[in-house]
Amino acid sequence: MGQEIQNTRFSDQDFALFHQRLAEETRLARGLEAAGRFDDGHPVAGFEIEAWLVDGHDEPAPVNQAFLERFKHPLASPELARFNVELNTSARSLTGSVLSDLHREMGETWAKARLTARACDAELVLTGILPTLRPEHLCLANMSDMNRYRALNDQVVRSRQGRPLKLDIVGREHLHHEHHDVMLEAATTSFQIHLQTPIAVAHKVYNASILASAPMVAMSANAPYLFGKDLWDETRIPVFEQAVEVGGFEGASRGPLRRVSFGSGFARESILECFEENLAHFPVLLPIHFDEPPSRFSHLRLHNGTIWRWNRPLIGFDDQGRPHIRIEHRVVPAGPTLADSVASAAFFYGLVEELVTTPGGAEGLMGFSKARDNFYQAARFGLDAHVEWPAGRSRPVRTLILEELLPMAQRGLERLGLDADDSDRYLDIVRARVDSGQNGATWARRFVATHGPDFHALVHAYLALQCTDTPVHLWPVPQTATGETPC
């Protein structure tokens, strides 16, 4: 969905032509795979960071257009809502000092972005769901001025024949809410971890990412509140899955697969199975015609951008135009700090590498359905979750991470050739976070337990701590609800 489009209204012919081009490009991808035309170099790392713009009252500030015009950064772009922006890092080889290099790059970008936000009478916040968000903020007037978002909304509403989208989330409290457009999706922001990998092992990396999703979401959970309700530790997960619930078009029956989901199963022999599944099982949402050769995969990439697996394979291109495969790991929320984000990425990269090289691979430890069950347990209960790893052995996720998965991640980072001091530094942040039991969700609940549900004060205190880049496991709960002034 990063591609801007020109049209917002479509005919039956548009859908038919798009599907024809989509099928052609899907077949071509298989041909290029067989011919060895995909990049097969060392793994490459990169991140997408989604952030909130907030006003002086710590509420959403719909000023992303003014922000982006002032910021003028090639790796910054709007998100669905006018109060969200996306900041990207450059892609770097996953070796040596890549973790600290990316952390430094993110820090420099973030500092400039905050200065730009302040020039727009706003501030930037990294959090999975902004606690001060209210339903009235999620209106079409706050949709970013992009054709692709208007078209997406029109097609989702059309496919549902005007039926409202419904949130029904049972957590510590129960939230039921109906919405008539796709702006519910804007309630969630994430820190997306990208891992470019040779296509020959991409299916194994994809499967390993699926298995890693449960411990990743447990230790990084940072979204317990929505519309004043205390729900899951990582409420982003059910919100996003229910915010774009799309059926078939004009009476077509809805298929068994949902557009936002954990996926349908492990890949068996090739990552391109996911793109073939896209073609076979997901109706086209945005039938835009691109006047580009099939080798640019324009239709395949746009269609894939309207299907939101929590681990999503992507096709991209290097500077020479050679296609590559990368896995987009989408389960981690934004925040609490850049240091926490890089630490979570370090754990992910190391654990996935170790799982890929383990005899039998990730799928040898458990079936897909068990990995999926673990994921939703971890999203709901965070660091208090119990998961099965391997299948048949239930244990606290904290014990699993500390005793087994952190050593695996350490070995994986060493095999990748990462700097030992870097690996130790960031994995130690994960270790301390899990050992203390304090991630972003836990800290937020401790704040509310101390000061009551004053969500404006919560955001204010959160921002003051976030801008220090001190990892969340070291965050105190301030003695007064007003907290410190953001730095």
Across 70-211, where does the E strand assignment appear? 76-78, 84-88, 92-93, 123-125, 165-170, 174-179, 191-197
Count of other CB atoms within 10 angstroms of residue 369: 11
Q: What are the tens digits of pLDDT across the range 269-314?
A: 999 999 999 999 999 999 999 999 999 999 999 999 999 999 999 9
CB neighbour burial string for 283-318, b if at least 16 within 10 angstroms, e if fewer:
bbbbbbbbeeebeebbbbbbbbbbbbbbbbbbbbee
**Residue partners of 163: CB distance under 8 A and separation at least 6:** none
pLDDT at 483: 62
pLDDT at 193: 98
Query: Is 333's pLDDT higher than 50?
Result: yes
For the chain, how many residues are written?
487
pLDDT at 3: 56
User: End-to-end distance of the chain based on CA atoms, in angstroms?
Assistant: 34
DSSP 8-state symbol, 390: S
* Alpha helices, H only, 282-323: 298-304
What average pLDDT does this structure show over 160-187?
93
Q: What are the tens digits of pLDDT across the range 91-103?
A: 999 999 999 999 9
Nearest to 476 by CA among 439, 441, 443, 430: 443
**Residue partners of 420: CB distance under 8 A and separation at least 6:** 414
Burial-class residue 469 by CB neighbours within 10 Å (0-12, 13-18, 19+). middle
> Could you tell me the two tokens for 163?
């039926």
Q: What are the tens digits of pLDDT across the range 405-440?
A: 999 999 999 999 999 999 999 999 999 999 999 999
- C-alpha distances in Å from residue 339, one per residue of 294, 427, 429: 40, 11, 8
Nearest to 347 by CA among 425, 237, 266, 421: 425
Q: Provide the whole-model pTM.
A: 0.95
State whether the Cα torsion 486-235-447-191 is positive or negative: negative
